Amino acid sequence: MTDINSLSPGQRAYEEKRARKAGMSLEKWMANKAREAEEAARAERRATEEATKKTKPPGFFQRLLDRAHKPL
């Protein structure tokens, strides 16, 4: 996430307003925002890893059922 000092005055005012609304200090708000962004990135990485895992091939009975449902 971005550092508080690197924010433009408009961005800083916006983030201060959101932090006030949430009842936090600006530093605490930005740390919380960075932590949530990291958690979201971690969850997305985990989801892509789950999607890329190799699936088990169909078993004997599943192959029989698939073959039985195919048209002649």
**pTM of the full predicted structure?**
0.63
* 27: helix, strand or coil: helix
26: closest CA among 49, 7, 48?
7
Burial class (CB in 10 A: 0-12, 13-18, 19+), 15: middle
- Per residue in 9-60, pLDDT (tens digit) is 999 999 999 999 999 999 999 999 999 999 999 999 999 888 887 778 889 9
C-beta neighbour count of 25 within 10 angstroms = 12
